[in-house]
Chain A
Amino acid sequence: MKYAKGLLDEIGLGADRLEMHFISSAMGREFAELTTEMTERIRQLGPSPLRESGNDK
Protein backbone atom coordinates (compact mmCIF):
# COMPACT_ATOMS: atom_id res chain seq x y z
CA MET A 1 0.00 0.00 0.00
CA LYS A 2 2.83 2.35 0.88
CA TYR A 3 4.44 1.56 -2.48
CA ALA A 4 1.21 1.99 -4.42
CA LYS A 5 0.44 5.27 -2.67
CA GLY A 6 3.95 6.50 -3.47
CA LEU A 7 3.38 5.65 -7.14
CA LEU A 8 0.07 7.54 -7.21
CA ASP A 9 1.76 10.59 -5.71
CA GLU A 10 4.62 10.39 -8.22
CA ILE A 11 2.20 10.03 -11.12
CA GLY A 12 0.23 13.02 -9.87
CA LEU A 13 -3.04 11.25 -9.12
CA GLY A 14 -2.63 11.60 -5.37
CA ALA A 15 -2.17 8.91 -2.73
CA ASP A 16 -5.40 9.85 -0.92
CA ARG A 17 -7.47 8.23 -3.65
CA LEU A 18 -6.42 4.79 -2.47
CA GLU A 19 -7.03 3.00 0.83
CA MET A 20 -7.15 -0.59 1.93
CA HIS A 21 -8.87 -1.96 5.02
CA PHE A 22 -9.43 -5.44 6.29
CA ILE A 23 -13.00 -5.94 7.41
CA SER A 24 -14.84 -9.16 8.15
CA SER A 25 -18.43 -9.86 7.09
CA ALA A 26 -19.48 -9.29 10.71
CA MET A 27 -18.27 -5.68 10.73
CA GLY A 28 -21.14 -3.95 8.97
CA ARG A 29 -20.93 -0.69 10.88
CA GLU A 30 -17.19 -0.28 10.28
CA PHE A 31 -17.73 -1.01 6.58
CA ALA A 32 -20.39 1.68 6.35
CA GLU A 33 -18.24 4.21 8.22
CA LEU A 34 -15.18 3.60 6.07
CA THR A 35 -17.05 3.71 2.78
CA THR A 36 -18.80 6.92 3.83
CA GLU A 37 -15.49 8.47 4.82
CA MET A 38 -13.88 7.38 1.53
CA THR A 39 -16.81 8.69 -0.50
CA GLU A 40 -16.57 12.08 1.21
CA ARG A 41 -12.84 12.18 0.67
CA ILE A 42 -13.16 11.40 -3.04
CA ARG A 43 -15.86 14.05 -3.43
CA GLN A 44 -13.54 16.61 -1.84
CA LEU A 45 -10.66 15.58 -4.08
CA GLY A 46 -12.87 15.93 -7.15
CA PRO A 47 -12.77 14.01 -10.43
CA SER A 48 -9.70 12.04 -11.38
CA PRO A 49 -7.10 14.21 -13.14
CA LEU A 50 -7.08 11.52 -15.83
CA ARG A 51 -10.80 12.06 -16.44
CA GLU A 52 -10.22 15.82 -16.61
CA SER A 53 -7.57 15.26 -19.27
CA GLY A 54 -10.32 13.74 -21.41
CA ASN A 55 -9.40 10.11 -21.09
CA ASP A 56 -10.06 7.98 -18.04
CA LYS A 57 -9.21 4.61 -19.51
Chain B
Amino acid sequence: MIVGEQKPLEEIKELVGDYERILVLGCGTCVTVCFAGGEKEVGILASSLRMATRMDDQGKVFDESTIQRQCEWEFLDAIEEQIRNHDLVLSMACGIGVQAIVERFPEARVAPAVNTTFLGLPEEHGLWTERCAACGECILYRTAGICPIARCAKSLLNGPCGGSQDGKCEIDPEVPCAWQLIYDRLKAQGRLDQMLDIVPAKDWSTSRDGGPRRLVRDDLRLD
Protein backbone atom coordinates (compact mmCIF):
# COMPACT_ATOMS: atom_id res chain seq x y z
CA MET B 1 0.00 0.00 0.00
CA ILE B 2 0.94 3.67 -0.22
CA VAL B 3 1.95 4.68 3.30
CA GLY B 4 1.47 8.20 4.57
CA GLU B 5 1.71 10.21 7.75
CA GLN B 6 -0.29 13.23 8.81
CA LYS B 7 1.57 16.54 8.84
CA PRO B 8 1.96 18.32 12.20
CA LEU B 9 -1.13 20.34 13.17
CA GLU B 10 0.88 23.57 13.24
CA GLU B 11 1.87 23.11 9.61
CA ILE B 12 -1.71 22.29 8.61
CA LYS B 13 -2.95 25.41 10.42
CA GLU B 14 -0.63 27.48 8.25
CA LEU B 15 -1.85 25.75 5.10
CA VAL B 16 -5.48 26.64 5.87
CA GLY B 17 -4.62 30.12 7.15
CA ASP B 18 -5.93 32.11 4.19
CA TYR B 19 -9.18 30.18 3.72
CA GLU B 20 -12.54 30.20 5.48
CA ARG B 21 -14.59 27.29 4.13
CA ILE B 22 -12.45 24.19 4.16
CA LEU B 23 -13.35 20.67 3.09
CA VAL B 24 -11.31 18.05 4.95
CA LEU B 25 -11.32 15.21 2.44
CA GLY B 26 -10.31 11.67 3.34
CA CYS B 27 -9.50 8.72 1.12
CA GLY B 28 -10.92 5.29 1.80
CA THR B 29 -8.08 3.20 0.45
CA CYS B 30 -4.34 3.13 1.32
CA VAL B 31 -4.29 6.02 3.80
CA THR B 32 -7.29 4.55 5.61
CA VAL B 33 -5.47 1.28 6.13
CA CYS B 34 -2.36 3.05 7.45
CA PHE B 35 -4.43 5.31 9.74
CA ALA B 36 -3.26 8.54 8.10
CA GLY B 37 -6.21 9.90 6.12
CA GLY B 38 -9.36 7.82 6.39
CA GLU B 39 -12.79 8.77 7.71
CA LYS B 40 -11.67 8.50 11.34
CA GLU B 41 -8.61 10.69 10.78
CA VAL B 42 -10.74 13.23 8.88
CA GLY B 43 -13.01 13.52 11.92
CA ILE B 44 -10.12 13.94 14.34
CA LEU B 45 -8.29 16.49 12.17
CA ALA B 46 -11.42 18.52 11.44
CA SER B 47 -12.30 18.63 15.16
CA SER B 48 -8.74 19.56 16.09
CA LEU B 49 -8.70 22.36 13.52
CA ARG B 50 -12.09 23.66 14.65
CA MET B 51 -10.84 23.95 18.22
CA ALA B 52 -7.36 25.23 17.35
CA THR B 53 -8.58 27.93 14.97
CA ARG B 54 -11.44 28.95 17.26
CA MET B 55 -8.91 29.62 20.01
CA ASP B 56 -7.10 31.88 17.56
CA ASP B 57 -10.42 33.69 16.93
CA GLN B 58 -10.55 32.58 13.33
CA GLY B 59 -14.06 32.00 12.03
CA LYS B 60 -13.40 29.01 9.83
CA VAL B 61 -15.71 26.22 8.76
CA PHE B 62 -14.33 22.71 8.46
CA ASP B 63 -16.61 20.25 6.67
CA GLU B 64 -15.82 16.56 6.43
CA SER B 65 -16.06 14.05 3.65
CA THR B 66 -14.36 10.80 2.67
CA ILE B 67 -14.51 9.07 -0.70
CA GLN B 68 -13.37 5.59 -1.61
CA ARG B 69 -10.45 6.77 -3.76
CA GLN B 70 -9.22 10.29 -4.46
CA CYS B 71 -7.10 9.01 -7.35
CA GLU B 72 -10.01 8.13 -9.65
CA TRP B 73 -12.21 10.57 -11.56
CA GLU B 74 -15.42 8.62 -10.85
CA PHE B 75 -15.14 9.10 -7.11
CA LEU B 76 -14.06 12.73 -7.43
CA ASP B 77 -16.93 13.56 -9.79
CA ALA B 78 -19.38 12.44 -7.11
CA ILE B 79 -18.24 15.26 -4.80
CA GLU B 80 -17.82 17.99 -7.43
CA GLU B 81 -20.47 20.16 -5.77
CA GLN B 82 -18.78 19.88 -2.38
CA ILE B 83 -15.40 20.80 -3.84
CA ARG B 84 -16.85 23.84 -5.62
CA ASN B 85 -18.59 25.00 -2.44
CA HIS B 86 -15.36 25.28 -0.47
CA ASP B 87 -12.41 27.70 -0.60
CA LEU B 88 -9.92 24.93 0.03
CA VAL B 89 -9.81 21.15 -0.12
CA LEU B 90 -7.55 19.85 2.63
CA SER B 91 -6.75 16.44 1.20
CA MET B 92 -5.78 13.60 3.49
CA ALA B 93 -4.95 11.33 0.56
CA CYS B 94 -1.49 10.55 -0.79
CA GLY B 95 0.13 12.96 -3.23
CA ILE B 96 -1.68 11.25 -6.10
CA GLY B 97 -5.08 12.12 -4.65
CA VAL B 98 -4.06 15.74 -4.09
CA GLN B 99 -2.97 16.08 -7.71
CA ALA B 100 -6.02 14.25 -9.03
CA ILE B 101 -8.37 16.78 -7.41
CA VAL B 102 -6.71 19.79 -8.99
CA GLU B 103 -6.36 17.97 -12.31
CA ARG B 104 -10.09 17.23 -12.37
CA PHE B 105 -11.13 20.61 -10.99
CA PRO B 106 -8.45 23.11 -12.10
CA GLU B 107 -10.02 25.99 -10.17
CA ALA B 108 -9.93 24.13 -6.87
CA ARG B 109 -7.41 25.12 -4.23
CA VAL B 110 -5.93 22.00 -2.67
CA ALA B 111 -3.49 21.48 0.20
CA PRO B 112 -2.01 18.22 1.46
CA ALA B 113 -2.55 17.28 5.10
CA VAL B 114 -0.52 14.09 4.72
CA ASN B 115 3.10 13.41 3.80
CA THR B 116 3.29 10.45 1.44
CA THR B 117 6.14 8.35 2.72
CA PHE B 118 6.62 5.11 0.78
CA LEU B 119 5.22 1.89 -0.65
CA GLY B 120 5.25 -0.57 2.17
CA LEU B 121 3.41 -2.86 4.50
CA PRO B 122 2.41 -2.94 8.18
CA GLU B 123 5.14 -5.18 9.53
CA GLU B 124 3.47 -5.16 12.92
CA HIS B 125 0.86 -3.00 14.62
CA GLY B 126 2.05 0.60 14.39
CA LEU B 127 5.13 -0.18 12.26
CA TRP B 128 5.25 0.26 8.49
CA THR B 129 8.32 -0.53 6.44
CA GLU B 130 9.23 0.09 2.82
CA ARG B 131 8.99 -2.84 0.43
CA CYS B 132 8.82 -1.52 -3.12
CA ALA B 133 10.59 1.33 -4.93
CA ALA B 134 8.39 1.03 -8.05
CA CYS B 135 11.53 0.73 -10.18
CA GLY B 136 9.58 -0.64 -13.13
CA GLU B 137 11.55 -3.86 -13.56
CA CYS B 138 10.88 -6.43 -10.87
CA ILE B 139 13.72 -8.78 -9.95
CA LEU B 140 12.15 -10.41 -6.91
CA TYR B 141 12.46 -13.82 -8.60
CA ARG B 142 16.24 -13.47 -8.31
CA THR B 143 16.25 -12.44 -4.67
CA ALA B 144 13.93 -14.89 -2.94
CA GLY B 145 11.13 -12.34 -2.83
CA ILE B 146 13.11 -9.69 -0.94
CA CYS B 147 13.66 -6.42 -2.79
CA PRO B 148 17.23 -5.11 -2.68
CA ILE B 149 16.20 -1.95 -4.54
CA ALA B 150 13.83 -0.83 -1.80
CA ARG B 151 15.41 -2.48 1.21
CA CYS B 152 19.17 -2.13 0.61
CA ALA B 153 20.40 1.40 1.39
CA LYS B 154 22.59 1.24 -1.73
CA SER B 155 20.04 -0.66 -3.86
CA LEU B 156 22.80 -3.18 -4.60
CA LEU B 157 22.07 -5.91 -7.11
CA ASN B 158 24.99 -8.03 -5.99
CA GLY B 159 25.26 -7.78 -2.23
CA PRO B 160 25.94 -7.64 0.57
CA CYS B 161 28.43 -4.80 0.87
CA GLY B 162 31.06 -4.35 3.57
CA GLY B 163 28.62 -2.33 5.65
CA SER B 164 26.59 -5.39 6.52
CA GLN B 165 27.34 -6.38 10.10
CA ASP B 166 25.56 -8.95 12.25
CA GLY B 167 22.68 -8.93 9.79
CA LYS B 168 22.17 -5.18 10.07
CA CYS B 169 22.88 -2.28 7.73
CA GLU B 170 25.59 0.22 8.59
CA ILE B 171 23.14 3.13 8.20
CA ASP B 172 21.12 2.08 11.25
CA PRO B 173 21.44 -0.85 13.66
CA GLU B 174 17.65 -1.30 13.46
CA VAL B 175 17.64 -1.71 9.68
CA PRO B 176 18.14 -5.30 8.56
CA CYS B 177 20.63 -5.86 5.74
CA ALA B 178 18.50 -6.77 2.75
CA TRP B 179 21.20 -8.99 1.34
CA GLN B 180 21.53 -10.84 4.64
CA LEU B 181 17.78 -11.46 4.44
CA ILE B 182 18.15 -12.66 0.85
CA TYR B 183 21.05 -14.96 1.83
CA ASP B 184 19.09 -16.42 4.76
CA ARG B 185 15.97 -17.00 2.66
CA LEU B 186 17.88 -18.60 -0.22
CA LYS B 187 19.73 -20.82 2.25
CA ALA B 188 16.49 -21.88 3.93
CA GLN B 189 15.03 -22.71 0.52
CA GLY B 190 18.11 -24.74 -0.45
CA ARG B 191 19.09 -22.57 -3.39
CA LEU B 192 22.06 -20.67 -2.02
CA ASP B 193 23.86 -21.24 -5.33
CA GLN B 194 21.78 -18.35 -6.70
CA MET B 195 23.97 -15.99 -4.66
CA LEU B 196 26.76 -16.78 -7.14
CA ASP B 197 24.78 -15.44 -10.10
CA ILE B 198 26.13 -12.04 -11.05
CA VAL B 199 23.26 -9.69 -11.82
CA PRO B 200 24.20 -7.30 -14.65
CA ALA B 201 23.77 -3.55 -14.36
CA LYS B 202 20.12 -2.62 -14.07
CA ASP B 203 18.32 -0.58 -16.71
CA TRP B 204 17.18 2.34 -14.59
CA SER B 205 15.29 3.96 -17.45
CA THR B 206 12.16 2.17 -16.19
CA SER B 207 12.62 3.88 -12.83
CA ARG B 208 12.68 7.61 -12.07
CA ASP B 209 15.88 8.00 -14.09
CA GLY B 210 13.77 7.84 -17.25
CA GLY B 211 11.67 10.80 -16.13
CA PRO B 212 7.94 10.74 -15.30
CA ARG B 213 6.51 7.39 -16.34
CA ARG B 214 3.34 6.38 -18.11
CA LEU B 215 1.72 3.05 -18.78
CA VAL B 216 -0.43 2.51 -21.86
CA ARG B 217 -2.66 -0.55 -22.22
CA ASP B 218 -4.17 -0.55 -25.70
CA ASP B 219 -6.49 -3.39 -24.75
CA LEU B 220 -8.10 -1.18 -22.14
CA ARG B 221 -8.28 2.09 -24.02
CA LEU B 222 -11.67 3.15 -25.31
CA ASP B 223 -10.55 5.13 -28.38
Contact = CB atoms under 8 A, between A and B. Distances in A.
- Do these two chains interact? yes
B8 interface: yes
A53 B55 CA distance: 6
B9 interface: yes
Interface string B98-124: 000000000000000000000000000
Nearest to B49: A11
A50 interface: yes
A13 B102 CA distance: 34
A10 B48 CA distance: 8
A11 B46 CA distance: 11
The bracket for how many chain B residues form the interface is 10 to 19
Contacts of A11: 9, 48, 51-52, 55
Interface in B26-55: 44, 48, 51-52, 54-55
Nearest to A7: B48
A50 B8 contact: no
Main secondary structure on A side of the interface with B? helix
Contact of B57 (A7, A10, A12, A53): A53
A49 B53 CA distance: 11
Contacts of B55: 11-13, 49-50, 53
A7 B58 CA distance: 19
B129 to A, nearest CB: 21
A55 interface: yes
Contacts of B52: 10-12
Nearest to A4: B44
A10 B9 contact: yes
B37 to A, nearest CB: 16
A55 B48 contact: no
A12 B10 CA distance: 10
A55 B9 contact: no
Interface string A24-57: 0000000000000000000000000110010100
A20 B44 CA distance: 19
A4 to B, nearest CB: 9
Nearest to B44: A7
Interface of A: 7, 10-13, 49-50, 53, 55
**Top 10 nearest A-B pairs by Cβ distance?**
A10-B9, A11-B52, A49-B55, A11-B51, A11-B48, A53-B55, A53-B54, A12-B55, A55-B54, A12-B52
Given A10-B10, A10-B48, A11-B55, 5 more contacts: A10-B52, A11-B9, A11-B48, A11-B52, A53-B55
6 contacts: A10-B9, A10-B48, A10-B52, A12-B55, A50-B51, A50-B54
